[in-house]
Amino acid sequence: MNRALVLLILAAGTTCAAARAEDAPPPPLTKHQMMKECMAKQVASEGGMPKEEMKKSCKDVTQTERDNEKTEKNGASGAKSGGTPQP
């Protein structure tokens, strides 16, 4: 009986841990992953851009996305960024 009770408790604990892991947001993409995705989208759209232009465009997009993530992260913690002080 004790063995069955211990197994039941372990199973419940494992189920709770798995549920928490599913609720966690995915880790942020690295700069390399973001560039790879962007380049794949550019190629798939068949825009006819030369590779160097696609690369430059993706660098700009990647930098903007990373800046936005930083701004959101700072905004969520209650920190104000830049700007002029309000009277």
Please report, for the chain, the start and end positions of each structural domain, with discontinuous segments joined by +: 2-75
Answer for the pair 68, 41: CB distance below 8 angstroms, yes or no: no
Q: Any idea how long the chain is?
A: 87
Distances (CA, A) of 29 to 6, 65, 86: 40, 10, 36
Structure confidence by residue, pLDDT tens digits, 17-36:
555 656 777 777 888 898 99
Structure confidence by residue, pLDDT tens digits, 48-67:
888 899 899 999 989 998 88
Answer for the pair 42, 49: CB distance below 8 angstroms, yes or no: yes
Taking alpha carbons only, the member of 33, 19, 25 closest to residue 66 is 33
0.75 exceeded by pTM: no
